[in-house]
Amino acid sequence: MDEIELISREINGALEQYFDFPRKGVLYEDFLPVFRSSRLCKGMARAFAKHIEQRGLKVDYVVGLEAKGFLIGLAIALEIGAGFVPVRKQGKLPGKLASAPYKKEYGSDIFEIQIDCMPKGSNVVVVDDVLATGGSAGAAGKVVEACGVNIVEFQFVMEIVELGGAKVLGSPTFSLLKR
């Protein structure tokens, strides 16, 4: 068993599930227990870094989606020696912004990014906790591309394969766990 598969199994074992949250019919996978363990957090960042190394990806910036993507993305950025950039929900960033609306299984919102936060032509990975329908990741991809950078990969801790989110993103994806 390789390092990525080993940490993936440990993360899977740490997740907690809540039925009918945040609304009836939704199975919520809670990642907070992973963040409570420094060993699992470090292992998760190492697993993503190992994947980046194995694929030979050149990454200048890790872009994390609000909110869990901030925690995951910053850990990965520190592990690989890249910069970190947040994609925020509307109204939380100053300056010139790019924005894109998105819908998820249980709501809608708008993502924003500071348009001048990365040099044009930079290579980035976009990171979040879960890939479901691809709505939030797709919107994040739109605002990131508005900065004039290259998305080399979307990365997730977990992908819910049956919802087909990877098909709508337009860039390669990687997930530690697939359901």
Residue 163 burial by CB count (10 A; 0-12/13-18/19+): exposed, middle or buried?
middle
Q: Is the pLDDT of residue 89 over 70?
A: yes
> Looking at residues 90-111, what average pLDDT do you find?
91
Q: Determine how β-strand 150-159 pairs with β-strand 123-131.
A: parallel
Residue 1: per-residue pLDDT: 77
Whether 174 contacts 8, CB under 8 Å:
no
Closest CA to 179 of 6, 8, 4: 8
Residue 66 burial by CB count (10 A; 0-12/13-18/19+): exposed, middle or buried?
middle
Residue 27: per-residue pLDDT: 86
pTM for this prediction: 0.94
Mean pLDDT computed over every residue of the chain: 95
Residue 105: per-residue pLDDT: 66
Topology, domain 3-178: Rossmann fold (3.40.50)
Could you state, in order of their start, the residue ranges of all structural domains in the chain? 3-178
The helix (H) or strand (E) run that includes residue 52 is: helix 38-55
pLDDT in tens, 20-53: 998 898 888 898 999 999 999 999 999 999 999 9
From CA 151, how far away is CA 141, in angstroms rounded?
8
> Looking at residues 100-117, what average pLDDT do you find?
90
> Looking at residues 137-160, what average pLDDT do you find?
97
